[in-house]
Each structure stands twice: as structure tokens, then as C-alpha cells.
């Protein structure tokens, strides 16, 4: 009798973080964060200012150096998994006077798929156009990016992320400074992506809407306070722990660490 | 978005041909020995390209203009202009070292020395920024001044050597295109070809790494490698330009043509092309001017040519130029004033229930609370634009059909907008007039249609005055215009 | 490569001993000039560093040149050629007017380009200073006999000539060479201004909006600072030259910033740095027979490198400590 073939191992989660520590000028900004995000979920990252929310995303994307711990994307380090990851950075991170058009920016989303010496093909352009259409920005394809409103700029970034055709998306404050109509459109789009099986992590700043938009929430303040389905995690006690008090004990310790000049680089 | 393939290839091929043709040659006379008698003679002598020295100098100047323009474009859009400045000062010790090594003005030795010094400078800047809390400007300033000081010490030491006085190293401070020899030209050609080729082949990588480095890293581009390769190319470009422009001013050749291009276009690939062309022209012009006045160093003249072109772009660029914007603003301001006068004339007639066609200047002046002279001026402006006629006998203004039509349009726009603000935006009726005064001039036809639709084709404004219908507008106009009224109004 | 002819032998007598003894009447002035210049530039430069405008110092020191050239040209047409009647006070005031004018024009032009177009500030600075400098070089080359500036001197100055300049006589005393006296006044004024206007300068560097709302109009402070920078730069010009002045603006402050963090200590350390680099620089120049000003700057940079290396080593040592020690576990809330 042949032994039963073992079930194939479960696929690795889209994002797995273990004991992640990130410092900035000798002060820890993220401390020992553990996280395993299941596939097909829309996750909101919330916490007070300076809690390390943007830093978490940047550490996952390799934009800031990691002082301790590791990050795995679909079981591999970022350097081998970048084709499956899409990134929408903060709007302030870009110089909007750069001489490129809306179409140019969205085409950049295809660069990860195009090789070193090749140019974007007709198929790439069609995909870019489709993505622009999806966010309602196709009429603006040839406009230079400075001549757009805040909401329109955000949509262009989103279209670029869509053009990447990724399975895991990181978005850093996509709703900052956008009008209500754009916000609703973005949320609809995110839900569509999620329904298609993508996993999306969004840094978000507004508590009331966080409860409605996201399937799961990560409460972050220097370290992970809680992570789980929104209904379970969005409680008074946990929110108090995340936001409450100007200096949590951990912040005081972090400050003491910095002042005594000891160990953290 | 990308340079069109055939044009790019053609440009590239031309460049290669150009470089190859001019590179090898026999010995040439120094330009300094070619002083002519008059400026006109000198100019002719230059333009006929009779002397090999002139050919070298001109070719070299144009080539360096191209390389510096192309690479400078990236500096400008990445806000690294002062990095270019620091780099160009930091190469001086390398140049001096090259001199010491080869004992002569060997371009290869100088090139290697300068590139090493330049790269070292870049690394030191990065090192300082990362290991201390000194900011970018301090780090750049330190490297700029520190390396330059070391270079100056070496230069003065070399000049006191027995062979030093004739070394020609002092020419590296302000530049002398006349000193470009065939080997220098080869070097400049290679650098120009390399710069153009890199920009063409790696256009999209350079573009995304410059625009959004975080995103570039996230899609797997080696952003650091791209940055340092750009710095390396920049070092090459700086070194190739050193002899003609001099250490002190070479950063201007990097920045000024590219800045002028930045004002002329909204697309990166066109900006690169314009920067290369403007750089080429500045180089050639500087070389020409330097030849005219034989004791003038070339560097400053190239820089001044570039700055002149920049100033022209700054003032007159079609979208971003200061003078063009002022002109547009001014002409739209006068149009607004004219339309306001027109509207006032119509309002006066309306209040009179359209008895009599003429509006006197005094009525106009009273209504608009201005002097008779101003009213007169406005009236003449209306006449000039065919919107009214003027009866000097009784100082009356009468609207032409075209003027009347435009007046009714304006009144309609104004009242529609007021209605919209009070109904849809719930702004109190006494607040809306100012807003409407501004908006009425810029509402386009499609927006007006939309407004009318939203307001259910209302016929009175918040103050109870009638909103003119398109029928009325058409009826007022000259008989030739045929405009169909939109559906919903019937006939 | 004949290094042997390049680097002279190190003769202890002439390099180290003589300057303090037999040659002191000459070398002493050089030392003093170097020290005063470095202190004045260092203090003004520290203000620039606080505002992250170190490269404005670069810009203004280049664009001083056309200011000086124009001022001398105008003066020579008004008062006759320089060789006829040279008057220290008149020369100084001509230089000052030219310098301050050039400094303000630079600041205004940079602001104009930067605000009225989409050119960013860094490119605006680069364009303006290079254009003005180019104009200056063309002016001094074309009108060489009217303008007593020499291109080489512009670039690296000649501090060695300072003792041989005309001496200043006042109150019946011989006060020393004119450039030194000038520099001493400028240095003293710089120190006093920094002390008296300390609050205003610091607030407007740190938070311009707050300063303006408190009645300290930040743009005016900026303009005045640029004007004073021009004065300091032009006073240093003659001995140190246009480009080395930039080093004296930045290097002392940067070195001090690696050692201390409090602002008053920074200013004190700058004085110390100036003293050491002037002395060491003089000895270095005497040994290598090179530009004295250049050597002083090189000595200053050497001090910076020392400070940087020490700083980096200390950081590395801290990092090794980190790996050895366990992280404090955060107490549960």
C-alpha cells in the first residue's frame, strides 16, 4: 500500500514580519514587531503620529534599513519578491514639478515587468490606459502632473500601483488630503482588489472610517499593540492603549535609551 | 514619453560620425598665435573654420556642451545642482595629481586623477551625511572647500617647480578652449558619446530612479547603483569640460542649459534634448567670443552665453516665462474690464426697459463709479473691438449686435452662477455677487449648459431679475449666426 | 615623478622655530590675520549652518567678485586711477559698498528666480553665482588697469603679502597692517553682533514663521545676515581668496558640531579650531612652500577629519556594545 502523499505545505503568507526593530538617530521607532498577514485581506494600520506606521511599510519595502528582525514576502526576502509587491508612497515624497505626464507615471508601474533594455510595449500602454480608466483619470493622460488636484494625484499613484498587477500592496496614507468623492472611489477600488485575492496594507489616520473600511486592523505604537479582525480589535481598551497618554512607558524607555547614549546605534 | 526611436538613433549616429571625423588630426597652431587685426577679421577667420586649432576648440566646446547639458538635466530635476558644484571643485586635487604623475598635460592622467578625486568626494559626502548629523549642505560645502584647498596647495606647489610655470595648470582654473588638442578632443568625444548612449539606453531606469526613488527600489531597481553611475558619468563630463571651462565655472555648464530647458518643456525626454542643444550653443558661442577677444578666458564666456539663453527662457518661455505670464495676465485683465463695461451698458438699458438705444458716458461713469475720462477710454476700447459704436455728438454708446449678444451672455452667466451658489451651495443671496463677477467671464459653454440643466432652466436669479434665454441671445446677435437652441427650451 | 623636488626637506629651524622668534614680526601678522579671518568666517558660517544655507556662503563669495570689480571701476572713474592716490579708508569703503551690493543682488536674484519660476533653490543659487562670477572675471580681465584685482589672487589670495601692506597709523600709534586692522574690526563686530542678537538669530534660524509672528521679521534678518556675510567675505578676500573663504565659513563650525551639541560651546570651539589651524597651517606652508591660506584650510580640514574619525569610532564602539547587551524588554502596559 502506498503511503498517502503528504498534503502540499500551505502557501506562505503574503507578509510575515518577525521581531522587527528600526531605529532613527539612535532612537527606536519600531520595536520588536511580529506580524503574519493572511492572504486576501484589507488591513488598516493605525496609531498616533510618530508611531512608526510609515516606517513599518518603508522597512518592508526596503526603503529604510532594518536594525533587527526580518521581513518575508510570500516566503522570500523582498529582493526576490519585488514583482509581487506594489507600493503607493506618500504624496509628499515626490517632486510634482518633475517633467512627466500622468501616463508616464502610470507606465512606471510596468517597469518591474519590463526588462533592462526594453521599452514599454503597446500591451503595457494598454494596461496603463485601462488602469487610468479604472481610477477615472484617462482624460488627463497627457497632462503634466503638477496641474492636478490632491485627489487626482492620489488616483494617479493608485493607477500606477494597479498597473503593477501585484498580489500584495502597501499604501502609505492614500486618503490624506483627498476629497470625499475620491476617497469613496479609492475604497471601492481597494475592496475590488481584495475580492480578487490581493492583500492590501494601508496606513490610515482617521479612526472612524478605519472601522468601516478594513477587514483587519493593526494597532501600532512603537510596537504592535494588537492585530486581528476589525470587530475584535476596535475596542475602547485597545485604542486607549494605542493612543492614550502622551508618553507611554515604552516611549519613555526609548527616550532614556537615547539619552544615555547606550546601546542602540 | 520616450524619445522616438528613429530620431534618437539618427542623433546618436550623427554624434558618432562627428566625433570620429574630428578626433584624429595633425599638430595645430595655438589660438593665441592667431590674433587678427580687427574683430571682423577674427570673426571671419573663426567662421570659415580655417585653422585646425579653431576646429578643435569649437568641436570640443560643442561636445562638452552636449555632455554637460544631458547630465545636468538630471541634476536639475533631482535637485542636485549643488552636488554638481561640489564635484567640480573636488576634482582639482585629482587634476594636480595627474599633472604630477605625468609631468605634462597628459589628458589621460588628468582624467583618471580627476575622476578618482571626484568619486572620492562623492563618497565622502555620503559618508558625512550618514555617519554624522551634519546636513547635506554642510557635507557638500566641506568636500567642495576641503578638496579644493588641497588642490590649490598642490597647484601652488607645482607652479614653484622648475617645470611648473609652463605646465598650463593655471588654465584649468578659468579654462582656455584654445588649449584643446587632438587628444583632449578624443576624450571629450568619448565622454559625449558615452553620456548620450547611457541616457538613450537606460532612459526609463534613470527616469523612475530620479522621479520616485522609493518606488524604484520597490520594483527592484538598484537605486544606489544608478545614483553612483550618474555621479561617475557626471565626473567624466566635468573632467572633459575642465580644460575649456575651468574648475570654478564648470558647474554652471551643467546647470544653466538644463535649467533653461526645464522652463521650456513639461516632458523629460524633450528637456534632455533641449538641454543638450542649449549646452551645445552655449559652448560654441563661448568659444567664438573667446576667440574674438584673444586674451579672454573661455569659461566665463561660455557661462555668460548659457546665462543669456537662460534669461531668455526665464522671461519668454511659452508657459513658464515671466514676461509671457505677465502678458497673459494683463491681456486677460483688460478683457475682463471690457466685458464689465459691456455688461454695465446692458444693465443700464435693461433698467430703462430698453427705451432708447444709447447710453451716455455720464450714465456709464455713474454706474461704474468712475470718472468720465475712464468711461471714455472704456467706450473707445469697446469700439475698437467692434462691440459698440460711439456717437460723439451726444456722447452716447450704442451696442452692436455682436456686443449685445456678448453682453446678454455675460449677464446670463452671472445670474446663473448666482442662482447656483444660492440654491446648490446655499450661500446667502447677498454674498454671491462678487463671486459671480469673477466667474462670469470664464464660464465655458459646456459648464453653462450643465448649470442650466441643474437649475432646471430657471428664469429668474436670486434678486428676481430675469435670466436671459439662449433664444434671446441668438435673437440679439448678428443675423448671420445660426445657433440652434438646446433641447428643452423648445422654439 | 620628482617628489624630492616637490616636497622640500623638513628643516626644523626654518619651519618650526623661526616663525616664533626671528621672523615673528612678519609671520606674527600672518598668524593673526589667519586667526581673525577664521574666527569671523567661522562664526558667520555657523549661522549659515544653522539655517542649512552653507552653500549661500559659496554663492556670495563667488559673486562678490563683480561687486568689487564694479566698485573699483566706478571709483577709478570718479577719483582717478588707483595708483595716484591710495587711501586706506576710501579703498575699504569702496570694497564694502561693492561687496554688500553684490551680496544683496545675489540674494535678490536667487529669490527672484526661485519664486517666479519652477526652478528650485539649488539650481537658482548655482546659476546666479556662476553668472555673476563670470561677469566679474570678464570685468577684471577687460579693465585690468583700472581694477587692481588679479585673477590668481582672487582664487587663492595671498596672505603672505599681508605684513607688507601699508600700515595703519592712528592715535599716534602704529597699529599694524591695514588688512589686519580691518579684519580685527570685522571680527570684533561679528562677535558682538552674535552675542547681542543671539536670540533673534537663533529663533529666525530655527522657525522663521514663529520669529516673524513675534516681531522678528525673518526675511529682514536673512537679508542683514547676507549683507554681513558679504562684509566678512570681502574682508577675508584679500588674504584668503574667494574659494578658500568658503572653507573657513564651513569647516570650523562643522568640526565643532561633531564634538559638542550646545550652541554656545560651538562658538567657543570655533575659536579654538581657528587658532590651531592657523598655526598648523603656517608651519605646513613653510615646509611645503605652498599657498599659506590653502595650508591653513588644509590644516582645518585635517582637524575635521580627526573629529570625524573619532566620532565614527565612538559610534562603532557603541554598536558593538549593543550586540553584546540584550535589549531591555518593554514592560507590559
A-chain residues near B205 (CB < 8 A): 111, 116
For an interface test with C, give the residue of B96, B152, B172 to mutate (most C CBs within 10 A). B152
**What single-letter DSSP state applies at residue B485?**
P
pTM of full prediction above 0.90: no
Contact A99 B133 (CB under 8 A): no
Contact A63 B218 (CB under 8 A): yes
* B126 assigned to some structural domain: yes
Q: What's the CATH code of the domain at B38?
A: 1.10.3470.10
Residue B271 confidence (pLDDT):
94
Determine whether domain A15-259 maps to CATH 3.60.21.10: no
Helix, strand, coil percentages, rounded to 5, for chain A: 40, 25, 35
What ipTM was estimated for this complex?
0.84
CA atoms within 13 A on the CB side of A37: 30
User: Which whole number is the average pLDDT over A101-107?
Assistant: 90
- Do residue B384 and residue B467 come from a single domain? no
Q: pLDDT (tens digit, 0 to 9) for every residue of chain B, 491 residues total?
A: 444 555 566 666 666 666 555 544 333 333 444 455 566 666 766 677 777 778 888 888 999 999 999 999 999 999 888 888 899 889 989 988 888 888 777 778 888 998 999 989 999 998 998 888 888 888 998 999 899 888 888 888 777 777 655 566 667 777 777 778 888 888 899 999 999 999 999 998 999 999 988 888 888 888 889 998 998 999 888 888 888 888 888 889 999 999 999 999 889 999 999 999 999 999 999 888 888 876 678 889 999 999 999 999 998 877 777 788 788 778 888 888 888 888 888 888 888 887 777 888 888 888 888 888 888 888 888 888 888 888 877 778 888 888 888 888 888 888 887 777 777 666 777 777 777 777 777 776 667 777 777 777 777 777 778 888 776 776 666 654 334 433 333 32
The tally of domains found in chain C comes to: 1
Q: How far is C323 from chain A (nearest CA, A)?
A: 8
Give how far Cα B75 sits from Cα of B69, B262, B377, C76, Å.
Answer: 10, 11, 51, 42
Answer with the one of B399, B424, B456 that is the final residue of a domain. Answer: B399
Q: Partners of A221 in the beta sheet?
A: A223
Q: Decide if C70 contacts C149 (C-beta within 8 A).
A: no
pLDDT grade for A246, boundaries at 50, 70 and 90: very low
* C69 assigned to some structural domain: yes
Q: How far is B296 from chain C (nearest CA, A)?
A: 7
Give how far Cα B211 sits from Cα of A93, A149, B68, B219, Å.
Answer: 10, 19, 20, 14
Nearest-angstrom CA–CA distance, B215 and B203:
16
Contact A100 B210 (CB under 8 A): no
Domain coverage including residue C59? 3-315
Contact C330 A264 (CB under 8 A): no
Nearest alpha-carbon partner for A105 in A117, A89, A118: A89
- Which residue in chain C has the smallest CA separation from A238? C333
How confident is the model over A119-177, as pLDDT tens digits? 888 999 999 999 999 998 998 898 888 778 888 888 999 999 999 889 999 999 998 87
Mean pLDDT score of chain A, rounded to an integer?
84
Q: Decide if B119 contacts B233 (C-beta within 8 A).
A: no
* C324 assigned to some structural domain: no
Residue C165 confidence (pLDDT):
67
* C323 assigned to some structural domain: no
- Do residue B277 and residue B329 come from a single domain? no
B-chain residues near C206 (CB < 8 A): none
Residue A126 confidence (pLDDT):
94
Contact C327 A263 (CB under 8 A): yes
Nearest-angstrom CA–CA distance, C61 and C56:
8
Q: Decide if A59 contacts A71 (C-beta within 8 A).
A: yes
User: Which whole number is the average pLDDT over C243-268?
Assistant: 88
Q: What's the CATH code of the domain at B444?
A: 1.10.10.10
Answer with the one of B283, B313, B343 that is the final residue of a domain. Answer: B313
* C291 assigned to some structural domain: yes
Q: What's the CATH code of the domain at C190?
A: 1.10.3470.10
Residues 6+ apart with CB under 8 A from B421: B427, B431, B432, B435, B436
Nearest alpha-carbon partner for C156 in A56, A170, B158, B489: B158
- Which residue in chain A has the smallest CA separation from B75? A98
Contact A223 C330 (CB under 8 A): yes
Determine the distance from the C-alpha atom of residue A134 to the mean position of all C-alpha atoms in its chain, rounded to a whole number. 20
pLDDT grade for C220, boundaries at 50, 70 and 90: confident
* C327 assigned to some structural domain: no
Chains in contact with C, where contact means 3 or more Cβ–Cβ distances below 8 Å, are: A, B
How confident is the model over A187-243, as pLDDT tens digits? 999 999 999 999 999 999 888 888 889 999 999 988 888 899 998 988 888 888 888
Nearest alpha-carbon partner for A89 in A57, A41, A48: A57
pLDDT grade for A96, boundaries at 50, 70 and 90: confident
Nearest-angstrom CA–CA distance, A203 and A169:
11
* B41 assigned to some structural domain: yes
* C322 assigned to some structural domain: no
What's the full length of chain B, in residues? 491
User: Which whole number is the average pLDDT over A79-107?
Assistant: 84
Facing C322 at nearest CB: one of A31, A32, A263: A263
Answer with the one of B280, B313, B346 that is the final residue of a domain. Answer: B313
* B486 assigned to some structural domain: no
C17 has a pLDDT exceeding 60: yes
Q: Decide if C47 contacts C119 (C-beta within 8 A).
A: no
Percent of chain A, pLDDT > 70?
90
Give the start-to-end residue ranges of the domains of chain A: 15-259
CB atoms within 10 A of CB A97: 16
Residue B399 confidence (pLDDT):
83
- Do residue B50 and residue B137 come from a single domain? yes
* B146 assigned to some structural domain: yes
The tally of domains found in chain B comes to: 3
Q: Partners of B398 in the beta sheet?
A: B389
Say yes or no: B84 contacts chain C, CB-CB below 8 A: yes
B-chain residues near A25 (CB < 8 A): 133
Phi/psi at B90 (5° precision): -70, -15
* C161 assigned to some structural domain: yes
Facing C328 at nearest CB: one of A146, A223, A253: A253
Domain coverage including residue B407? 402-476
Residue B51 confidence (pLDDT):
76
Facing B307 at nearest CB: one of C57, C122, C127: C127
Residue C187 confidence (pLDDT):
93
- Which residue in chain A has the smallest CA separation from C316? A265
Q: What's the CATH code of the domain at B363?
A: 1.10.10
Which helix (H) or strand (E) segment is A56 a member of?
Answer: helix A53-60
Contact A97 C331 (CB under 8 A): no
Amino acid at each position: 500500500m502506498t503511503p498517502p502523499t503528504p498534503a502540499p505545505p500551505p502557501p506562505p503568507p503574503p507578509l510575515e514580519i518577525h521581531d522587527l526593530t528600526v531605529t532613527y538617530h539612535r532612537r527606536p521607532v519600531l520595536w520588536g514587531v511580529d506580524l503574519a498577514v493572511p492572504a486576501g485581506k484589507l488591513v488598516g494600520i493605525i496609531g498616533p503620529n510618530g508611531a512608526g506606521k510609515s516606517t513599518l511599510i518603508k522597512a518592508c519595502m526596503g526603503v529604510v534599513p532594518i536594525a533587527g528582525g526580518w521581513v518575508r514576502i510570500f516566503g522570500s526576502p523582498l529582493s526576490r519578491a519585488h514583482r509581487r509587491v506594489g507600493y503607493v508612497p506618500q504624496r509628499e515624497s515626490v517632486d510634482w514639478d518633475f517633467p512627466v505626464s500622468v501616463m508616464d507615471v502610470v507606465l512606471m508601474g510596468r517597469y518591474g515587468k519590463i526588462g533592462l533594455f526594453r521599452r514599454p510595449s503597446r500591451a503595457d500602454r494598454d494596461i496603463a490606459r485601462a488602469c487610468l480608466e479604472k481610477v477615472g483619470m484617462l482624460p488627463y493622460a497627457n497632462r503634466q502632473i503638477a496641474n492636478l488636484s490632491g485627489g487626482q494625484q492620489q488616483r494617479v499613484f493608485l493607477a500606477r500601483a494597479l498597473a503593477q498587477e501585484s498580489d500584495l500592496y502597501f499604501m502609505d496614507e492614500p486618503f490624506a488630503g483627498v476629497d470625499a468623492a475620491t476617497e469613496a472611489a479609492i475604497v471601492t477600488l481597494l475592496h475590488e482588489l481584495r475580492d480578487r485575492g490581493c492583500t492590501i496594507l494601508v496606513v490610515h489616520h482617521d479612526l472612524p472610517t478605519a472601522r468601516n473600511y478594513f477587514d483587519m486592523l493593526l494597532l501600532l505604537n512603537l510596537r504592535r499593540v494588537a492585530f486581528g479582525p476589525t470587530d475584535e480589535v476596535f475596542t475602547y481598551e485597545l485604542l486607549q492603549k494605542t493612543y492614550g497618554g502622551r508618553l507611554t512607558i515604552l516611549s519613555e524607555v526609548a527616550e532614556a535609551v537615547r539619552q544615555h547614549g547606550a546601546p542602540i546605534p | 514619453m520616450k524619445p522616438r526611436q528613429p530620431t534618437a538613433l539618427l542623433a546618436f549616429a550623427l554624434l558618432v560620425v562627428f566625433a570620429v571625423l574630428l578626433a584624429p588630426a595633425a599638430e595645430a597652431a595655438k589660438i593665441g598665435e592667431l590674433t587678427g587685426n580687427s574683430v571682423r577679421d577674427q570673426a571671419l577667420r573663426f567662421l570659415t573654420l580655417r585653422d585646425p586649432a579653431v576646429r578643435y576648440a569649437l568641436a570640443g566646446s560643442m561636445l562638452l556642451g552636449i555632455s554637460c547639458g544631458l547630465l545636468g538635466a538630471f541634476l536639475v530635476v533631482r535637485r542636485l545642482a549643488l552636488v554638481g558644484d561640489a564635484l567640480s571643485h573636488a576634482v582639482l586635487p585629482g587634476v594636480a595629481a595627474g599633472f604630477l604623475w605625468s609631468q605634462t598635460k597628459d589628458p589621460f592622467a588628468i582624467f583618471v586623477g580627476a575622476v578618482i578625486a571626484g568619486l572620492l568626494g562623492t563618497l565622502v559626502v555620503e559618508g558625512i551625511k550618514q555617519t554624522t548629523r551634519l546636513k547635506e549642505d554642510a557635507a557638500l560645502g566641506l568636500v567642495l572647500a576641503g578638496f579644493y584647498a588641497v588642490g590649490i596647495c598642490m597647484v601652488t606647489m607645482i607652479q614653484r617647480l622648475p617645470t611648473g610655470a609652463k605646465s598650463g595648470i593655471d588654465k584649468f582654473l578659468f579654462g582656455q578652449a584654445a588649449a584643446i588638442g587632438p587628444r583632449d578632443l578624443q576624450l571629450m568625444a568619448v565622454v559625449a558619446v558615452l553620456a548620450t548612449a547611457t541616457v538613450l539606453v537606460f532612459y526609463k531606469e534613470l527616469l523612475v530612479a530620479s522621479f520616485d526613488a522609493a518606488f524604484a527600489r520597490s520594483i527592484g531597481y538598484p537605486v544606489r547603483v544608478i545614483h553612483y553611475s550618474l555621479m561617475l558619468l557626471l565626473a567624466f563630463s566635468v573632467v572633459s569640460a575642465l580644460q575649456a571651462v575651468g574648475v570654478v565655472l564648470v558647474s554652471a555648464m551643467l546647470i544653466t542649459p538644463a535649467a533653461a530647458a526645464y522652463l521650456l518643456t513639461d516632458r523629460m525626454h524633450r528637456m534632455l534634448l533641449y538641454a543638450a542643444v542649449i549646452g551645445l550653443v552655449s559652448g560654441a558661442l563661448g568659444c567664438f567670443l573667446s576667440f574674438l577677444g584673444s586674451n579672454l578666458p573661455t569659461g566665463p564666456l561660455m557661462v555668460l552665453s548659457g546665462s543669456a539663453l537662460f534669461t531668455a527662457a526665464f522671461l519668454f518661455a511659452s508657459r513658464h516665462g515671466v514676461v509671457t505670464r505677465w502678458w497673459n495676465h494683463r491681456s486677460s485683465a483688460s478683457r475682463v474690464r471690457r466685458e464689465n463695461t459691456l455688461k454695465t451698458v446692458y444693465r443700464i438699458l435693461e433698467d430703462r426697459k430698453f427705451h432708447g438705444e444709447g447710453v451716455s458716458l455720464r450714465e456709464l461713469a455713474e454706474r461704474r463709479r468712475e470718472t468720465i475720462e475712464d468711461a471714455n477710454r472704456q467706450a473707445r476700447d469697446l469700439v475698437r473691438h467692434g462691440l459698440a459704436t460711439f456717437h460723439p455728438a451726444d456722447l452716447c454708446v450704442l451696442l452692436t449686435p455682436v456686443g449685445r449678444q456678448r453682453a446678454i451672455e455675460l449677464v446670463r452667466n452671472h445670474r446663473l452662477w448666482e442662482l447656483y451658489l444660492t440654491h446648490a451651495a446655499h450661500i446667502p443671496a447677498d454674498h454671491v455677487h462678487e463671486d459671480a463677477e469673477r466667474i462670469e467671464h470664464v464660464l465655458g459653454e459646456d459648464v453653462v449648459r450643465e448649470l442650466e440643466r441643474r437649475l432646471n432652466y430657471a428664469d429668474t436669479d436670486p434678486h428676481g431679475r430675469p435670466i436671459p434665454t439662449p433664444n434671446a441671445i441668438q435673437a440679439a446677435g448678428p443675423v448671420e449666426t445660426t445657433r440652434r437652441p438646446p433641447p428643452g427650451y423648445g422654439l | 615623478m620628482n617628489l624630492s623636488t616637490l616636497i622640500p626637506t623638513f628643516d626644523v629651524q626654518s619651519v618650526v622655530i623661526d616663525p616664533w622668534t626671528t621672523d615673528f614680526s612678519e609671520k606674527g601678522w600672518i598668524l593673526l590675520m589667519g586667526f581673525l579671518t577664521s574666527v569671523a568666517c567661522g562664526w558667520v558660517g555657523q549661522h549659515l549652518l544653522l539655517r542649512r544655507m552653507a552653500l549661500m556662503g559659496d554663492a556670495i563669495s563667488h559673486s562678490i567678485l563683480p561687486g568689487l570689480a564694479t566698485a573699483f571701476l566706478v571709483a577709478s572713474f570718479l577719483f582717478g586711477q588707483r595708483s595716484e592716490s591710495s587711501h586706506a579708508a576710501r579703498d575699504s569703503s569702496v570694497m564694502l559698498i561693492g561687496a554688500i551690493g553684490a551680496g544683496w543682488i545675489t540674494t535678490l536674484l536667487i529669490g527672484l528666480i526661485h519664486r517666479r519660476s519652477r526652478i528650485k533653490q539649488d539650481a537658482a543659487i548655482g546659476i546666479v553665482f556662476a553668472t555673476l562670477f563670470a561677469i566679474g572675471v570678464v570685468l577684471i580681465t577687460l579693465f585690468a588697469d583700472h581694477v587692481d584685482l588679479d585673477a590668481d589672487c582672487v582664487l587663492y589670495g595671498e596672505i603672505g603679502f599681508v605684513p607688507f601692506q601699508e600700515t595703519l597709523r592712528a592715535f599716534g600709534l602704529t597699529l599694524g597692517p591695514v588688512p589686519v586692522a580691518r579684519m580685527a574690526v570685522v571680527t570684533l563686530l561679528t562677535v558682538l553682533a552674535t552675542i547681542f542678537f543671539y536670540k533673534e538669530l537663533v529663533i529666525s534660524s530655527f522657525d522663521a514663521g514663529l520669529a516673524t509672528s513675534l516681531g522678528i521679521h525673518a526675511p529682514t534678518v536673512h537679508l542683514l545676515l547676507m549683507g554681513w556675510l558679504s562684509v566678512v567675505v570681502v574682508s577675508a578676500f584679500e588674504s584668503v581668496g574667494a574659494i578658500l573663504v568658503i572653507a573657513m565659513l564651513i569647516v570650523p563650525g562643522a568640526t565643532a558640531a561633531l564634538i559638542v551639541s550646545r550652541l554656545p560651546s560651538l562658538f567657543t570651539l570655533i575659536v579654538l579650531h581657528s587658532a590651531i589651524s592657523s598655526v598648523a597651517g603656517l608651519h605646513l606652508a613653510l615646509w611645503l612652500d605652498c599657498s599659506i591660506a590653502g595650508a591653513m584650510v588644509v590644516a582645518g580640514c585635517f582637524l575635521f577629519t580627526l573629529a570625524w574619525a573619532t566620532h565614527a569610532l565612538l559610534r562603532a564602539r557603541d554598536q558593538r556594545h549593543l550586540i553584546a547587551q540584550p535589549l531591555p524588554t518593554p514592560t507590559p502596559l
